[in-house]
Amino acid sequence: MIMTKKSLTPELYRVCDANLNRLKEGIRVVEDIMRYGDNNKELSHKLKHLRHLAQMDDDALLQNRDSINDVLRTTIKSELNRSCVKDIITANFKRAQESSRVLEELFKLENVEYSERFKHIRYELYDLEKIILKL
């Protein structure tokens, strides 16, 4: 699908919705590990702040959601391989970073302010990943 028009189609809203959910879920996993597992108020607060920055009230996202028909809905074997908490943290940081990049790129078509917000989130996640994985 090649588009020259500068806007999000229903299909691209679906991509944004899935990535927004993935972004917030990935951040939440790490946030909860820092909050309840490490009792780290500072890092869990920073992660919570980023998760709240990712909130969007956009009816088009919800209207175009079609999780029932997601062709990759089933779990793949590599998603089941976690040997320690560090593996979980790493996987969820990567998930969140990749999702924020997708959102950054797609919102360049519709709302540059949103695009910049997701770029900011991505770079904050890079920094937090380095800090948390060194603990």
Which amino acid is it at 13? Y
- Evaluate whether residue 68 is within a structural domain: no
Whether residue 102 contacts residue 122, with contact meaning beta carbons closer than 8 Å, is answered with: no
Q: Residue 23 corresponds to which tokens in the numbers above? A: 């972004």
- Evaluate whether residue 74 is within a structural domain: no
**What pLDDT does 60 receive?**
76
- Evaluate whether residue 37 is within a structural domain: yes
Confidence class of residue 5 from pLDDT cuts 50, 70 and 90? low
Give dist(CA 97, CA 39) in Å, integer: 24
Total domains in the chain come to 1
- Evaluate whether residue 76 is within a structural domain: no
- Evaluate whether residue 52 is within a structural domain: yes
Query: Which residues are CB-neighbours of 36 under 8 A, at least 6 positions away?
Result: none
**What pLDDT does 3 receive?**
45
- Evaluate whether residue 22 is within a structural domain: yes
How far does Cα 100 stand from its chain's mean position? 5
Give dist(CA 34, CA 85) in Å, integer: 11
Coil/strand/helix, residue 34: helix
- Evaluate whether residue 75 is within a structural domain: no
Whether residue 31 contacts residue 132, with contact meaning beta carbons closer than 8 Å, is answered with: no
Predicted structure pTM score = 0.88
- Evaluate whether residue 70 is within a structural domain: no
Which domain covers residue 20, as residue numbers? 10-62+84-133
Q: Give the model confidence (pLDDT) of 12-56 as tens digits.
A: 999 999 999 999 999 999 999 999 999 999 999 999 999 999 998
- Whether 9 has a pLDDT exceeding 80, the answer reads yes
Q: Give the model confidence (pLDDT) of 53-104 as tens digits.
A: 999 877 778 787 787 777 776 776 666 788 999 999 999 999 999 999 999 9
* Residue 14 CB-half CA count within 13 A: 11
